[in-house]
């Protein structure tokens, strides 16, 4: 893919990057970004019109954020593994500090404090901590293998707990589940004994049950999912009802670009429910193609590290690829009402500046760690 862009004799930084990076994954990520732009044109104008901010407000913002996201993706993919680890530590602690500030002074939206105002920009700091936590956990776990006396598992668990504690204060249980599941995935790949793996899974189940019985809004969402008649169809279930109607209207081939009507009624059609717009206007086949694009990136990332000698590279790549796949899966499953509704963006497709930049960082790290480094050993 794009093999004639640079000559093999080009020894510049970008030239060397081009011939060592996974160009297939990079190309598919670009395709996902383009898909996001197209769906932004389809989904966001009605939302902007309802808010009275100009029909193409969200389209312009979405396209504007792609440029820095792409710059972050390419920039981070140029780094060596040791630089990735150092960057992860810096971003983690800055992100935690901003999360604390968010809990104390952040803007409350729909009962949650997840965004903080910085110089006129709204930032969701937790999005940036998520991928770098996977890097730090991979680092700690790999050091445990190199030195059995090093408390790598305990330290990675401590980093996880600090992040999860602040997520619960916001609260953001969807991201909490994704993060804990990612950590569990990394433990499994690292070869943790099954007893401890079962203990981790059991703890997760207990935590989920505790959230259900102790937190009213969690109880309400789960109850409404299990028994839709328990919710108010005009308020609690409005968006999901409209979303399912969109897929029903779209059928196999869709109603055609711009012909969707449900997007005019879904408040978050440009964000959490953009998949519903794709279903109505482009049909099931295009939706399956979108699923295939995400699946390709995840599977390709795992295949690139199958024969990797560095446990750190294996664990970090596995963790971030798992996050990427799970986030897209949660978004699609919520839109289809397969799981309780959870506000989580579709990677590189949904509107959201913080999400776009953080995903650029995460996938840039994956592209960095899966580059071909002939004769290069980097364990420092």
Residue 344: partners with Cβ closer than 8 Å, 6 or more residues away: 174, 175, 178, 272, 327, 330, 331, 334
For the chain, how big is the Rg over CA atoms in Å? 21
CB 362 within 8 A of CB 355: no
Q: In which region does residue 32 sit, left (phi positive, over 0), alpha (psi from -120 to 50) or beta (all else)?
A: alpha
Q: Which two tokens stand for residue 368?
A: 């960095």
Residue tagged 């804990």 (tokens): 180
Close Cβ partners of 158 (under 8 Å, ≥ 6 residues apart): none
Residue 138: CB atoms within 10 A of its CB come to: 30
| Residue 25 to residue 32: CA distance in whole angstroms | 11
- Taking a C-beta distance cutoff of 8 angstroms, is the pair 89, 136 a contact? yes
Collapse the DSSP code of 4 into the 3-class scheme (helix H, G, I; strand E, B; otherwise coil) and give the result. coil
CA distance 212 to 228: 17
What is the reported pTM? 0.91
Per-residue pLDDT tens digits of the chain, which is 380 residues long: 455 556 666 667 777 888 889 999 999 999 999 999 999 988 888 888 888 887 788 888 889 999 999 999 999 999 999 999 999 999 999 999 999 999 888 777 766 788 888 777 788 999 999 999 999 999 999 998 888 899 999 999 999 999 999 998 888 888 998 999 999 999 999 888 777 778 778 877 887 888 778 777 778 778 777 777 666 655 567 788 888 888 999 888 888 888 888 888 887 888 888 999 999 999 999 999 999 999 999 999 999 998 888 999 999 999 999 999 999 999 999 999 888 877 788 999 998 888 999 999 999 999 999 998 654 444 44
pLDDT of residue 185: 92
The answer to whether the beta carbons of residues 260 and 246 sit under 8 Å apart is yes
- pLDDT by residue (tens digit) across 164-203? 999 988 888 889 989 999 999 999 998 887 777 787 788 7
- Positive/negative CA dihedral, 174, 190, 88, 104: positive
Pairing assessment for the beta strands 112-118 and 107-109 based on DSSP bridges? antiparallel
Nearest-5° Cα angle at 98, 96 to 103: 95
| Ramachandran area for residue 111 (φ above 0: left; ψ -120 to 50: alpha; else beta) | left
**Residue 56: Cβ-neighbour burial (10 angstroms; 0-12, 13-18, 19+):** middle
State how far the Cα of 171 lies from the Cα of 214, in Å rounded to an integer: 13
48 and 55 in contact (C-beta within 8 Å)? yes
Looking up tokens 């446990």 gives 311
Task: Say what the pLDDT of residue 375 is.
Answer: 46
Check: CB of residue 321 under 8 Å from CB of residue 302: yes
Cα atoms found within 13 Å of the Cα of residue 52, Cβ hemisphere only: 0
Matching residue, tokens 């913080």: 354
Q: Can you tell me the distance from the alpha carbon of 276 to that of 281, in angstroms, rounded to the nearest whole number? A: 9
Q: How far is CA 89 from CA 76, 83, 134, 244, 378, in A?
A: 14, 10, 11, 42, 18
pLDDT tens-digit profile of 26-66? 999 999 999 999 999 888 888 888 888 877 888 888 899 99
208: its two tokens:
């989920």
d(CA 256, CA 95): 42
Tokens coding 77: 């993919």
Closest residue by Cα to residue 126 from 174, 162, 84, 175: 175
Strands ordered across the beta sheet of 121-123? 107-109, 112-118, 121-123
- The beta-strand segments (E) located in the chain are 107-109, 112-118, 121-123
């Amino acid at each position: 893919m794009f093999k004639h862009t640079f000559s093999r004799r080009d020894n510049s930084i970008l030239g060397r990057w081009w011939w060592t990076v996974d160009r297939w994954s990079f190309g598919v990520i670009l395709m996902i970004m383009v898909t996001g732009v197209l769906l932004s044109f389809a989904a966001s104008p009605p939302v902007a019109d309802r808010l009275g901010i100009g029909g193409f407000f969200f389209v312009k913002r979405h396209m504007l954020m792609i440029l820095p996201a792409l710059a972050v993706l390419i920039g981070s993919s140029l780094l060596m593994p040791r630089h990735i680890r150092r960057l992860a530590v810096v971003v983690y602690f800055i992100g935690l500090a901003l999360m604390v500030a968010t809990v104390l002074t952040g803007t409350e939206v729909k009962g949650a404090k997840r965004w903080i105002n910085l110089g006129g920009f709204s930032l969701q700091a937790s999005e940036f901590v998520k991928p770098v936590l996977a890097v730090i956990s991979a680092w700690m776990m790999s050091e445990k293998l190199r030195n059995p006396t090093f408390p790598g598992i305990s330290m990675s668990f401590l980093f996880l707990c600090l992040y999860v504690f602040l997520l619960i204060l916001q609260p953001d249980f969807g991201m909490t589940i994704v993060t804990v599941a990612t950590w569990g995935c990394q433990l499994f790949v690292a070869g943790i004994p099954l007893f401890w793996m079962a203990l981790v899974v059991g703890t997760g189940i207990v935590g989920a049950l505790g959230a259900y019985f102790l937190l009213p809004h969690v109880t309400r969402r789960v109850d409404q999912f299990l028994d839709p008649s328990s919710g108010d169809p005009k308020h609690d279930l409005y968006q999901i009802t409209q979303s399912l109607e969109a897929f029903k209207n779209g059928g196999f081939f869709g109603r055609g670009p711009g012909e969707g009507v449900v997007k005019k009624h879904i408040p978050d059609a440009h964000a959490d429910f953009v998949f519903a717009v794709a279903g109505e206007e482009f049909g099931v086949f295009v939706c399956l193609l979108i699923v295939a694009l995400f699946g390709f990136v995840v599977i390709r990332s795992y295949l690139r590290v199958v024969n990797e000698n560095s446990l750190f590279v294996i664990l970090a790549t596995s963790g971030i690829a798992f996050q990427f796949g799970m986030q897209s899966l949660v978004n699609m499953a919520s839109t289809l009402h397969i799981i309780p509704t959870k506000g989580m963006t579709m990677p590189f497709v949904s509107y959201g500046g913080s999400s776009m930049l953080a995903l650029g960082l995460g996938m840039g790290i994956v592209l960095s760690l899966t580059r071909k480094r002939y004769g290069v050993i980097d364990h420092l």
